[in-house]
Homo-oligomer: A and B are copies of this chain.
């Protein structure tokens, strides 16, 4: 049994193997602090992501239905996307909300952040809450995006997760952040 605790590995070298428009794949040579051995590791480099829980004044979540090419299925998600260069995560959340749903609302309130997959990805996903959203514009799909909007009562979300209607881990994590926020500061 190893007696020393896990520590930070050092990177000996790193190269980009592939560029895929929304992510790059890197291979790095990393040295173990425990054994001193060097191992190849693969890393996926992409900008930070955001997602946002938009709540209407009557307690509905503004959700997005879209086809996802990883699973090749339609998903039910909250709005979200990549943070653009020079953009703050909060600004990205407000922008994605408006582009994907045509809704806008009050203050963009940070709920928390997660690492989508720290084993592979370098980035973080920042989650926001926007209350009192209203429909102010049309959906503006860009490129290959094809989305539609569905309103679901916030109180239905646990059932939608249990029944497999909401499957995206980052969306589930967002609703967990909301539940932690509600547990801390009831309104």
Contacts and interface: CB of A to CB of B under 8 A. Distances in A.
Given A6-B147, A17-B18, A117-B117, 10 more contacts: A1-B138, A5-B148, A18-B18, A30-B69, A70-B121, A72-B122, A113-B164, A114-B168, A115-B169, A161-B176
What does DSSP make chain A's interface, helix, strand, loop or mixed? mixed
Q: What size tier do the contact residues of chain A reach?
A: 35 or more
A18 B144 CA distance: 24
A6 B148 contact: yes
A71 to B, nearest CB: 4
Interface of A: 1-2, 5-9, 11, 17-18, 20-23, 25, 27-28, 30, 32, 34, 37, 39-44, 65-75, 112-122, 124-125, 138-139, 141, 143-144, 146-148, 158, 161-162, 164, 167-170, 172-173, 175-177, 179-180, 183-184
